[in-house]
Amino acid sequence: MSIISDQQNRDGQARGLSARDTIVRDILRGLYEGRYEPGERLQEAHLTETYKVSRGPVREALNALAARSVVQLVPQCGAQIRVLSLKEAIDTLVVAQTLLGLSARLAAERCAESAGRKALEEALERIMEFSPDADSAAFATARDAFYGAMNAMADNSELNRVLPTVQVHLIRVQYRSVLRAVDARRRADYKRIANAILAGEPAKAERAVHKHLGRAVELLQQDEGLS
């Protein structure tokens, strides 16, 4: 298995990331790059060697990933990257559809008074730089920045608390072969969402999010019917 490079360590330090956050970021990146797989056990001793840190930051990182529902902490067995059943993946997307739809609505309602308009515009520009079928860790980071900017505009503390636990990363990794059918439309969807928010159109922004995630739900439901 590849390990985090010295350059990645320096980049994390340069951005002010703690050792814990650097490990969390790299494990998420590793899911997209194939260095980590759903179902894989994450052994503390191996991680301390891999990331050249003590057990403290490793345990903090595993707890942070568990809080985000990426990792399961099993007594006597340690940590394991979660494996989502098809039903769990569909249920997760349905919840994300509702919560992110609400976030888009609130962001649009508050767009006139929000200082986050520029952040959303810049996040959209970064997404548009990727090819339609991009499925890399870099694209996932850009997508997270887009939703992060939208949620910042929504300015709702409960959404900020709950949304990090709705784990879309695992769905994208575990069911990427199924979801590729909607990849070509993602950039247009993000543009539609951003435009509705920036135009101050709450209902349109919410519908755009529902439509975007609804395509993925429909695909997984079709796959569930075939299994």
How many structural domains does the chain have?
2
Residue 73 lies in a domain: yes
Domain C-terminal end among 28, 48, 81: 81
Domain of residue 39, residue span: 6-81
Residue 208 has pLDDT above 60, yes or no: yes
Among 185, 161, 182, 160, smallest CA distance to 171 is for 182
Q: Residue 10: pLDDT above 80? A: no
Domain contains 67: yes
Count of CA atoms in the C-beta half-sphere (13 A) of 3? 10
| Residue with the larger pLDDT of the pair 67 and 122 | 122
pLDDT value at 4 more than 70: no
Q: Which of 53, 81, 109 is the last residue of a domain?
A: 81
Instruction: List the single range of 90-94, 148-152, 166-170, 208-212 with lowest mean pLDDT.
Output: 166-170
Same domain assignment for residues 126 and 35: no
Q: Answer yes or no: do 20 and 122 share one domain.
A: no
Q: Is 1 part of any domain?
A: no
105 shares a domain with 55: no
Q: Is the pLDDT of residue 153 over 80?
A: yes
Would you say residue 165 lies in a domain? yes
The answer to the question of residue 128 being in a domain is yes
CATH number of the domain to which 217 belongs? 1.20.120.530
What was the pLDDT predicted at 140?
85
Mean residue pLDDT of the chain comes to 87
**CA–CA dist 175, 84 (Å, integer):** 9
39, 62, 81 — which closes off a domain? Answer: 81
The per-residue pLDDT for 8 is 42
Q: Is the pLDDT of residue 226 over 80?
A: no
Q: Are residues 44 and 128 in the same domain?
A: no
Residue 105 token pair: 């609505």
75 and 23 together in one domain: yes
